[in-house]
Amino acid sequence: MPSEDPTIFVLFGATGDLAKRMVLPAFFELHTRGLMPETWRMVGNGRGDVSHLDFRGHVKEVLDEFGPKYTAEQWDAFVEHLFFAGGGFEKSNPGSLLDVLQEAHDDLGPDARYIHYLAIPPSAFIKITEGLDEHDLIRDDSRVVYEKPYGNSLASFHELDDLVQSVMKEEQVYRIDHFLGKEATQNIHVLRFANALFANIWCKEYVTQVQIDVPETLDVADRAGFYDETGAFKDMIATHLFQVAAEVAMEPPASMRAEDLQDARESVLAAFRPLEADDVVFGQYEGYRELPDVPDDSQTDTMAAVRLWVDTDRWRGVPFVLRSGKQMAVSQQKVILVVRTPQGPLTHVPASTIELSLKGTGEMQVQLVLKKPGPDLDLVEQRIDLKLDNGTDSSGLPPYVALLHDVTLGDRSLFTSSAGLERAWTAAAPVVDHPPAPVPYRPGSWGPSESVRLTGDVGWVLQDAADGS
Summary count for the chain: helices (H), strands (E): 16, 15
Structural domain boundaries enclosing 141 = 7-147
254 is in an annotated binding site: no
Cα 201 to Cα 54, 93, 204, 383: the distances in Å are 57, 58, 8, 19
Residue 388 confidence class, pLDDT cut points 50, 70, 90:
low
Residue 393 has pLDDT above 50, yes or no: no
Which of residues 147, 163, 197 is at a domain's end?
147
Residue 193 counted as domain residue: yes
Instruction: Collect all residues with Cβ–Cβ distance below 8 Å to 209 and sequence separation of at least 6.
Output: 318, 319, 320, 321, 337, 338, 455, 456, 458
Residue 175 counted as domain residue: no
**Domain shared by 431 and 286, yes or no:** yes
Residue 159 counted as domain residue: no
Longest dimension (CA), the chain: 83
Residue 174 counted as domain residue: no
Residue 157 counted as domain residue: no
| Coil/strand/helix, residue 66 | helix
Q: Which of 31, 240, 405, 434 is catalytic?
A: 240
**Domain shared by 137 and 189, yes or no:** no
**Domain shared by 91 and 207, yes or no:** no
251 is in an annotated binding site: no
**Domain shared by 115 and 191, yes or no:** no
Q: What are phi and psi of 120, to 5 degrees?
A: -135, 165
| Range scoring the smallest mean pLDDT among 5-9, 265-269, 392-396 | 392-396
**Domain shared by 129 and 198, yes or no:** no
184 is in an annotated binding site: no
pLDDT in tens, 137-161: 999 999 999 988 888 899 999 999 9
pLDDT in tens, 79-133: 999 999 999 999 999 999 999 999 999 999 999 999 999 999 888 999 999 999 9
How far the first Cα of the chain sits from its last, in Å, is 48
| Structural domains of the chain, count | 2
135 is catalytic: no
**Domain shared by 230 and 106, yes or no:** no
Summarize the confidence of residues 165-185 as an average pLDDT.
87
Residue 390 confidence class, pLDDT cut points 50, 70, 90:
low
Residue 160 counted as domain residue: no
285 bridge partner residues: 441
**Domain shared by 188 and 92, yes or no:** no
At residue 134, what is the residue type? E
pTM of whole model > 0.85? yes
334 is in an annotated binding site: no
Residue 468 has pLDDT above 90, yes or no: no
**Domain shared by 232 and 348, yes or no:** yes
216 is in an annotated binding site: yes
Sheet with 379-387, strands from edge to edge, namely 379-387, 363-371, 353-357, 334-339, 207-215, 319-325, 303-309, 280-285, 439-441
Q: Single out the residue of 287, 170, 138, 303 nearest to residue 237, CA to CA.
A: 303
Residue 258 has pLDDT above 80, yes or no: no
